[in-house]
Structure 1
């Protein structure tokens, strides 16, 4: 407002548009400033200039009154185009693929109890097994090679007093036991079936392909059942100098019908 007032004071002595035109060093170009001055001092402009300013005024009024519907119109048009397509051609929003779930059933500890449902999640393809392990499996005439899990060793897995490797069932990627082996893991000593778990004897190949024979047992925990390698697990820990935080890949394979586990140290 101060600039407009100052300008009006400067041109107050000008009596007609010709005098104003002489003061200007540039040709006339309609602008908002000229439009404001012309409202109070139309005598400072020629008839042709006033016509140009009138057109500018109409143009500005039209732009202010017109709603900004450009973006809305584009969204509506795009939505209509999608709705008009056949269902099979419509592009759906991108979704995150969830891991594939495998639901298994294991027999309960007694015939009177219903089978236990175990949900395994497979998040992707199995990692590659180093060639020296594949060659050893081939030398032993092994078959049915399966990737079971990625295992980070906790303090409880290497603590000598525990003497066991824990493998939570809900972290194992696939079923690797036969029905007979599943039933074997539920067997207990004693005539009343309330003694200690018998376990399933198997062979473990350590990262240096040395063989150890030890039992696999299934323990029922609060959150999930776990498979545990017990009894001689400390020998594998000490021989390989396993420490807390080290990572293993655990694989299974079979020679005839006998179960083997393979430990690949990462």
Structure 2
């Protein structure tokens, strides 16, 4: 009996260490081609992250030399890339007579603080002020057109703000045979500080950012 008591005392004095079970890493399941699925997913994710970090070589395009020379011949300077996107139905509809310039797609700021203040002066239900500008078309024809900031109300009672080119825009679309889904670029420039635009027609490029805008603008 004494020996049993002594064994219990020793057991309580030196308790057993808790056993730690090491977790095994998840097995790599092979795909049909004999490759590791997890490893392939990792490689794909790394490539996606590299693309996100590295800017696209086409992020800032070059303005065609003919248009650049045309602007220079007019005494223009400060050429700035504004936007590139496909034309929507409303951009080529004679009933709308406007080119929409969504604010969230503008690549570089092209307005002075004074111009921005002027275009924003039509708030609180007032009609937005127009700013007369020159537009150099793809055909190199020069048209006088108006720039306006447009606040469009939606059914959700929120509003979407964008710039629009209005007044004589229908003439521009007709003269240059512009069609829905055709991709265009818009560039700005200055002639003695006065704002002007150059319009360029490009090959169709489907930018995913434009899909969400189609439902808003094509109404």
Same fold (TM over 0.5): yes
CA deviations over 1:192-224 (Å, ceiling 9, x no partner): x74321221111110011111111111124464
Higher share of residues assigned helix: 1
1:126 — aligned with what? 60
Instruction: Give the secondary structure class of the aligned counterpart of 1:249.
Output: strand
Q: Greater RCO between the two (CA within 8 Å, min separation 6)?
A: 2
1:204 — aligned with what? 135
Q: Which structure 2 segments of 5+ residues have no match?
A: 1-24, 26-45, 153-157, 203-219
1:1-266 → structure 2 map (5 Å cutoff): 95-96=49-50, 98=52, 125-188=59-122, 194-221=125-152, 222=158, 224-266=160-202
TM-score, with structure 2 as normaliser: 0.62
TM-score, with structure 1 as normaliser: 0.52
Following superposition, the deviation at residue 145 of structure 1 comes to 0.5
Call closer, same or farther: CA 1:168–1:99 in 2, change over 3 Å.
Answer: farther
CA deviations over 1:146-194 (Å, ceiling 9, x no partner): 11111211111111110100010100101010000000101239xxx74
In structure 2, C-alpha distance between the alignment counterparts of 1:171 and 1:245, rounded to whole Å: 16
2:40 — aligned with what? none
In structure 1, C-alpha distance between the alignment counterparts of 2:84 and 2:125, rounded to whole Å: 33
Choose 1 or 2 for highest CA Rg: 1
How many matched pairs?
Answer: 152
Following superposition, the deviation at residue 122 of structure 1 comes to 9.5
> What is the aligned-residue RMSD (CA, Å)?
2.6
Following superposition, the deviation at residue 124 of structure 1 comes to 5.9
CA deviations over 1:198-256 (Å, ceiling 9, x no partner): 22111111001111111111112446421100121111111111111111111111011
Q: Which structure 1 segments of 5+ residues have no match?
A: 1-71, 73-92, 101-120
Whether contact under 8 Å (1:169, 1:224) holds in the other structure is no
In structure 1, C-alpha distance between the alignment counterparts of 2:57 and 2:121, rounded to whole Å: 32
In structure 2, C-alpha distance between the alignment counterparts of 1:122 and 1:224, rounded to whole Å: 28
